Chain A
């Protein structure tokens, strides 16, 4: 009875939504030093938000149309390279003492990544995905193929040499509070991710379009029987997901400051882990998964660097053993 009472109390307090907080508390106990913990926590939350941007579209696309898109990471790569090119072209604005010019350069770079993601998403959905609806095996094969072709296009356009990504001056440096240091860029990445999450949450939960998407994730056929063309809605969701992945790639490029064409492929595993941990088709689940992956990666990287690579896999296995459909699945 005591255990049951505790479970109900935890559910009342937020249930699985508390997990990132629980991870932070465990991290605090294990790390000990508050300054290191704050730095790692901010880094983890920022990484989580950037991964959330990359993963949210993939989760919705799978939930809404049962489409497995292994080419999703191509949008991450392209977003990174498009943004890096725009920033390189506006290097004069980046280094200028005017914050306005700094912001304008960053806004243009992010807008270019978003616009590219929207256009590429439309092309990808119409040409690659549409012919293979309802056929998972062919989806995997053709989207993997598209990913390889995309990487080769990036190689042809930008070359194989790592490219330096310039950051705007106003995002360089760190906030120093006592002996705690917080990178400004990480704070910005976290804030941007939060704004995107709030926008998505509002759209999904407070608009008719969002209602259709949530219903479509649950039962696509019934939404169509109510008179809505879910295939057309899916094109829009696919484009949005691609644009967010490109935005995530652009932010990740600024975080790494040195990018290669393999960037998207490297992030793909993390993105899939996040989608699986969070539960398919759920934006809230994706955010939870992304924050936990970000935090665990940073804490484990500090505490046991040899386990850093395996930590996300171990986290995913642990979550799936507890909740086989993920933390907050919209599709079971």
Chain B
């Protein structure tokens, strides 16, 4: 059974129709990658799932339940976490305060906290520092750490490698591979090399429509299709 189903998702922002017909099935476990060029509708898809843009009724199903039209906070409480493109870090708060906000009752589960700090050791070092003073890579780590400090059923991640140094990108890939063992991740990405390392299933969005869906292995092996859909040269 799919964790998440988008069925004919349409989203308008103001008077502009951004998503026309997005239908994907995100299976349980592992990393599902949504690829697409700039402005194709990747971010709008994630924001529509989270209720941050109003999607068409009856188009977003989480574990079979229609969540389109629900309040963002109520969607999050179902077990969805969101790591936005701008990371959504509270720069004026400390790393610890950012993390504690993501817990259900303001208390850390010690085992879970240890797991997160092992995954991202830099956060332990800067635990009491203001999040705004962290580097771009550390902020991204904090954003992901915040999403997994509680067990989630689905994590939506929007372009986590944007603007990061190659070494940090590698570290993030390792972290996502680890997280994907226990949680389903819907990853939006433009960096195809990063995406192919992680993705099991994938879809390509173009001009607000899904134009291809399948396994990442098949897509990675088809250079012609990559060139056609993503403009990648062989």
Q: Does B72 contact A (CB under 8 A)?
A: yes
- Which of A208, A221, A227, A228 lies at the interface centre, i.e. has the most chain B CB atoms within 10 A of its CB? A227
Distance of A285 from chain B, by nearest CB (Å)? 12
Q: Which bucket holds chain B's interface residue count? A: 20 to 34
Report the Cα distance A202→B96, complex, angstroms: 18
| Binary flags per residue of B82-113, CB closer than 8 Å to A gives 1, else 0 | 10100010111100010011101010000000
Q: Which residues of A contact B52 (CB under 8 A)?
A: 221, 224-225
| Binary flags per residue of A213-235, CB closer than 8 Å to B gives 1, else 0 | 01100110111111111100000
Assess A229 versus B71: contact at CB under 8 Å? Given A215-B90, A221-B88, A330-B92.
yes
Q: Which residues of A contact B93 (CB under 8 A)?
A: 211, 214-215, 218
Q: Does A182 contact B (CB under 8 A)?
A: no
- Which of A208, A214, A225 lies at the interface centre, i.e. has the most chain B CB atoms within 10 A of its CB? A225
Q: Are B84 and A218 in contact (CB under 8 A)?
A: no
Q: Are A211 and B92 in contact (CB under 8 A)?
A: no
Q: Which residues of B contact A319 (CB under 8 A)?
A: none
Q: Are A224 and B88 in contact (CB under 8 A)?
A: no
**Interface residue ranges of A47-87 to B (CB < 8 Å):** none
Distance of B88 from chain A, by nearest CB (Å)? 4
**Interface residue ranges of B140-193 to A (CB < 8 Å):** 146
Report the Cα distance A93→B69, complex, angstroms: 57
Report the Cα distance A2→B79, complex, angstroms: 55
Q: Are B72 and A224 in contact (CB under 8 A)?
A: yes
Q: Which residues of B contact A222 (CB under 8 A)?
A: 84, 88, 90
Assess A229 versus B73: contact at CB under 8 Å? Given A208-B106, A218-B92, A221-B52.
yes
Q: Does B50 contact A (CB under 8 A)?
A: yes
Q: Which residues of B contact A211 (CB under 8 A)?
A: 93, 97, 100-101
Assess A226 versus B76: contact at CB under 8 Å? Given A214-B90, A219-B88.
yes
Report the Cα distance A228→B105, complex, angstroms: 11
Report the Cα distance A230→B71, complex, angstroms: 11
Distance of B125 from chain A, by nearest CB (Å)? 22
Assess A227 versus B90: contact at CB under 8 Å? Given A208-B106, A211-B100, A222-B84.
no
Q: Does A262 contact B (CB under 8 A)?
A: no
Assess A212 versus B76: contact at CB under 8 Å? Given A218-B91, A219-B90.
no
Q: Which residues of A contact B106 (CB under 8 A)?
A: 208
Residue on B nearest A225 in the bound complex, by CB:
B82
Q: Which residues of B contact A223 (CB under 8 A)?
A: 101
| Binary flags per residue of A128-164, CB closer than 8 Å to B gives 1, else 0 | 0000000000000000000000000000000000000
Residue on A nearest B132 in the bound complex, by CB:
A218
Q: Are A225 and B97 in contact (CB under 8 A)?
A: no
| Binary flags per residue of A182-223, CB closer than 8 Å to B gives 1, else 0 | 000000000000000000000000001001101100110111
Report the Cα distance A211→B84, complex, angstroms: 21
**Interface residue ranges of B39-88 to A (CB < 8 Å):** 50, 52, 71-74, 76-77, 81-82, 84, 88
Report the Cα distance A226→B146, complex, angstroms: 9
Residue on A nearest B146 in the bound complex, by CB:
A226
A-B contact pairs, 24 of them (CB 8 A): A208-B106, A211-B93, A214-B92, A215-B93, A215-B97, A218-B90, A218-B91, A218-B93, A221-B52, A221-B72, A222-B84, A222-B88, A223-B101, A224-B71, A224-B76, A225-B50, A225-B72, A225-B73, A225-B76, A225-B81, A225-B88, A226-B76, A229-B74, A330-B92
Cβ-closest 10 pairs across A and B: A222-B88, A227-B76, A224-B72, A225-B82, A227-B77, A229-B73, A215-B90, A208-B106, A224-B73, A218-B90
